[in-house]
Structure 1
Amino acid sequence: MTDEYSTSGEFLDILSRDAWAALREPVTSALRGIDSAVGPLIDLGAGSGRGTLLLAELAPSAFVLAVEPSLVQRAVLLARLADDPVLAEHVSVIAQRTETAQLPDAIGGVLAMNMIGHLSPDDRRQLWCRLGDRMGPEVPLVVNLQAPARVEAIPDADFAAVRIGSCTYEGGGRAEPDGPEAVAWHMRYGVRDQKGDLVSEAAATYRWYVLDEQTLLAELAEVGLAAQPCGLGVYRAARVTD
């Protein structure tokens, strides 16, 4: 597997800290109805594990499958799990892509944060089908949308900065159209010393398939899932029952 985060892995977890702090409330609300008695909980594109830890916190007895293709991201996730005997007992890390990951026959809940744009429209629709077939009534699928919602250029901007010790870690980027359905994100990262001088930098480019709310709701409805917004771009989908 090609690791899109091989050059940016040093920055990804710490720069997502504040964003995850803001997302905690809407994601927690959206995850209502998770049922570990039905089946394991799934964290798709688990990254460094911030969502995985939230699943484990909300359902301490649940078994969690954290699906993450990036070696760099898995390293951070596994380090977190190894230091907690309870997590190490209940969370399994799956080194596969979401598109090809083997899923259990029944699922107690699904989290798919900050990752859906990595899937092509065809792969995305196939994922909804695979998940919908395994989700019982009230079992939630939680997914979020990220800008842009359509193919357009996004000017360069600073996204986040975190100070650790005497160093400040920062990240930003820009996007440009990359075909009729996607944009290419050109990300930049840097480390500044206490004087503000740039002492190291890294760059990464990845393709992101755009998705707007109307399309998301329509695709989910096609497989019998009704979705509702929970705030900050987070949506909760569950099987429609009569």
Structure 2
Amino acid sequence: MHKNEEMYGESIEFYDIAALPHSNVNESILKKFARMTDMNEGVIVDIGAGTGRNIMELAKYTPTKELIALEPSKYMRISFMTRLVDNQEMQKKITLLPLSIEEYNFEEKISGILCMGVLGHLNENQRLYLWNTLEYNLQSNVPVLIEILDKRFLSMNKGKRISVSYQGRLRYESYINDIKKIDSNKWEWMIAYKVFDKDKLINRIESPMYWTYNSIESILEELHDIHFRGVKLSESLLLAKKI
């Protein structure tokens, strides 16, 4: 994976509050995905669960399912665990494991896979390893919900503010300070996070973010090659099933 782990140490405070306005997964999509998992036996696995937002939201619509969250980043897990300890119901339903997909053993039956915002951290060989792992371990008709980077982020102007959110009297803003292509489909962003108390800047952090971009169409083609049928839900979401 790209070395984003050190970046999370400083920016984890901003991760959820900055991402909130750009969530691509709405309630209707998660409910549809939940209904699809109900048709299969087994646990739901979230690959690269991050701070837990997606899987905890999904858990609301899957009352009979156990959920497994895989998250190798210790910073992400700290944020995730904070969410879990404040919600006893979720704490009973969700198991958070400090593992990557390469380390997970797939000993249990799987009824659904979440793969949200993970592909950009993988190079081509790692991505193909992921597909082959799913093809080998999943039964037919197990749904896989996949989120990729929205293509619009590749053409944003430097200095553009990409989010603004509020926490009490504080205003959290994030900006793209720089963006450059470093390989055929690899990109580097320099993200600036700023915190204001009214108009006074009280905190500022710059963090690099490295990302590999692959279009929905190219991902669907890769999945088709390993016998998955997929459908494009939006410019950044697709749903696939093993045939």
TM score, norm. by length of structure 1: 0.89
1:83 lines up with 2:81 in the alignment: no
Q: Percent identity?
A: 22
Alignment of 1:23-42 (within 5 A): 23-35=26-38, 38-42=41-45
CA contact (8 A) 1:3 1:70 kept: no
Alignment match, 1:155:
157
SS of the residue corresponding to residue 157 of structure 2 reads strand
1:19 lines up with 2:22 in the alignment: yes
Unaligned regions of 5+ residues in structure 2, if any?
A: none
Alignment match, 1:102:
105
Cα distance in structure 2, aligned partners of 1:238 and 1:217: 11
CA contact (8 A) 2:150 2:236 kept: no
SS of the residue corresponding to residue 6 of structure 1 reads helix
Cα distance in structure 2, aligned partners of 1:33 and 1:237: 11
What does the per-residue CA deviation read over 1:38-73, in whole Å, with 9 as the maximum and x for residues that have no partner? 221111111111111122112122111111122222
Cα distance in structure 2, aligned partners of 1:57 and 1:67: 19
Alignment match, 1:48:
51
CA contact (8 A) 1:3 1:69 kept: no
Alignment match, 1:203:
206
Q: CA RMSD in A?
A: 2.3
**Cα gap change, 1:144 to 1:179, in 2 (>3 Å):** same
136-145 or 28-37, larger mean C-alpha shift: 28-37
31-40 or 60-69, larger mean C-alpha shift: 31-40
2:172 to 169, 172, 175: 169
SS of the residue corresponding to residue 187 of structure 2 reads strand
Cα distance in structure 2, aligned partners of 1:86 and 1:132: 32
Q: Offset at 1:232?
A: 5.1
The number of residues matched between the two structures is 238
TM score, norm. by length of structure 2: 0.88
Q: Offset at 1:37?
A: 5.5
Unaligned regions of 5+ residues in structure 1, if any?
A: none
Cα distance in structure 2, aligned partners of 1:85 and 1:199: 35
Q: Offset at 1:77?
A: 1.0
Alignment match, 2:182:
178
| Higher helix fraction (1 or 2) | 2
Cα distance in structure 2, aligned partners of 1:22 and 1:130: 24
**Cα gap change, 1:183 to 1:148, in 2 (>3 Å):** farther
The residue type equivalent to 2:57 in the other structure is L
Q: Offset at 1:31?
A: 4.7
Alignment match, 2:192:
188
Cα distance in structure 1, aligned partners of 2:33 and 2:66: 19
